[in-house]
Structure 1
Amino acid sequence: MKIACHIQSAEVYELVHSVLLRAGFDVQRFASETALLRGVRRDDVDLVLIDLASEPDADNSLLSWLNMRTGDATPVMILSPMRSAALAALVLNAGADEFVPRPVEAVELLARTNALLRRSGNAPQRRSIEYAGYNLERDSGRLQFLGQQIELTPREFSMAWLFFSSPGVYISRSTIGAVIWSTDSEVAGRTIEQHVYKLRKKLQVGDKRVVMIRTAYTQGYRLELCTPE
């Protein structure tokens, strides 16, 4: 699936690009607003992603374009470092479909992207993940390593799906708590630690450890490939 984006900051673009690329998206970056609007008119894209790094003027070309998109079903997501209710209302009323303040966690950005595509009817729901010999099947809640079944509880599988969806990306305790337990990290903190501990042990097949879940006190947890010894 193709995503057209206009992100001026190299750092922000690298984050967005790496997250979407790992999820299988084709990301095309445009250097200017004008180039983006021309590219979107010229080629079919599945989503438009724009980063607003500063408050837009009243005659901003992107706002004008959003206001003129009558009949265009391509979803538009706006990122911005400005956590402003007024700005969110401005771009949403102009025609954007989603407003995401940043910084935003990689797992949340991917989830919001997929949700927006689903709402627009452009994306099938991901049903399986294959990574480093592991295979996760969402419908059956099954995890296998090279065909060998690994028994997980429903919550352990949900946690595994979260990690394997974004390998190499730290996922905060608050995100894990909200996604799996529908509560915050303070309430679910010890429970999260216990589930991570159990999942670590189950991901190790015999004496072979292919992946590991690394903990960083301030950042949360992430799935990493182990270096061959």
Structure 2
Amino acid sequence: MRMNIACLITNTAVLKVVRAAFMQTGAECTHFTSEVVLFRALLRQKFDLILIDLDLEPTPDDAIVSWLNCRSGNDTPVLTMSPMRDAHMTALVLNAGADDLLVRPFEPVELLARAHALVRRSNPRSARRRIELAGFSLDRESSKFAYLGTPIMLTSREFGLAWMLFSSPGVYISRETIGTSIWSSDSEVAGRTIEQHVYKLRKKLQLGVERGVSIRTAYGQGYRLELLGQKAADVPE
């Protein structure tokens, strides 16, 4: 799913990470430096998602909150981010009209998943059902996997793991995320099982220099699909 995202982010470190994460999916991030510039752009340009970083705790009369409360004619989903874990602030933003709030620091894979989920809800026909990457193809409907048209047989969990990795190339996915999503258990329980499945996936897909794709493991970070030569994004504070 190729997205066009409006980003209102003043923190340069956060902006860098957001751009790096979405770049891996081919999404385009248009950066806005102020609320006024963003609001004007929304009148003449269509976006798939509006991403707003709340560096400071907003008040009921804050420009963003006021805009969320009174905006009309614009049903673009809004994903807000904040470094603050405050229930009252979260309630204020969501009740005003934001569709979701992501607390940072966060894993880039969670940012991408939440963004894609919001876009899917706003337009069910945009749900991602197929991935084409570096000669590999994944079909979610049929759970079929192939390389240059040649089928590769995977178990349901191997396909689920492959889908997670191929849908977010260059982004580390933690063992916690993989364990919860595929095995419904935490990393302590699923750790050895995950390692075995990653090993089998590398072998079945014949990943390496020849195919230009590998699965990299990093202690404390998890696993990422690496298009050889690309760097992963850092996690924002």
What TM-score do you get using the length of structure 2 for normalisation?
Answer: 0.89
Deviation, 1:58, is 3.8
Of 4, 7, 20 in structure 2, the residue corresponding to residue 5 of structure 1 is: 7
Contact 1:204 1:210 in 2 (8 A): no
Q: What is residue 196 of structure 2 aligned with on the other side? A: 194
Unmatched runs of 5 consecutive residues or more in structure 2 = 230-237
C-alpha deviations, 1:96-127, integer Å up to 9, x for none? 11111011211111111111112222661112
After superposition, the CA RMSD in angstroms is 2.0
Deviation, 1:175, is 0.6
**Change in CA separation of 1:36 and 1:202 when aligned onto 2, cut-off 3 Å:** same
Alignment of 1:26-65 (within 5 A): 26-65=28-67
One-letter identity of the residue aligned with 2:129: R
Contact 1:203 1:209 in 2 (8 A): no
Find the aligned partners of 1:140 and 1:119 in 2 and give their Cα distance.
Answer: 22
Deviation, 1:42, is 2.6
Name the count of aligned residue pairs: 227
Find the aligned partners of 2:23 and 2:210 in 1 and give their Cα distance.
Answer: 29
Q: What is residue 111 of structure 1 aligned with on the other side? A: 113
Find the aligned partners of 1:162 and 1:49 in 2 and give their Cα distance.
Answer: 22
C-alpha deviations, 1:114-169, integer Å up to 9, x for none? 11112222661112111111111111211111222211101001101111111111
Of 92, 95, 111 in structure 2, the residue corresponding to residue 93 of structure 1 is: 95
With CA pairs under 8 Å and 6+ residues apart, which has the higher RCO, 1 or 2? 2
Of 161, 164, 171 in structure 2, the residue corresponding to residue 162 of structure 1 is: 164
Find the aligned partners of 2:7 and 2:72 in 1 and give their Cα distance.
Answer: 20
One-letter identity of the residue aligned with 2:212: V
Find the aligned partners of 1:110 and 1:144 in 2 and give their Cα distance.
Answer: 24
One-letter identity of the residue aligned with 2:140: R
Unmatched runs of 5 consecutive residues or more in structure 1 = none
> Is 1:128 aligned with 2:126?
no
Contact 1:177 1:184 in 2 (8 A): yes
**Change in CA separation of 1:42 and 1:226 when aligned onto 2, cut-off 3 Å:** closer
**Change in CA separation of 1:44 and 1:100 when aligned onto 2, cut-off 3 Å:** same
Deviation, 1:52, is 0.3
Contact 2:82 2:104 in 1 (8 A): yes
Deviation, 1:71, is 5.2
SS in 2 for 1:100: strand
Alignment of 1:204-223 (within 5 A): 204=206, 208-223=210-225
Q: What is residue 81 of structure 2 aligned with on the other side? A: 79
One-letter identity of the residue aligned with 1:141: S
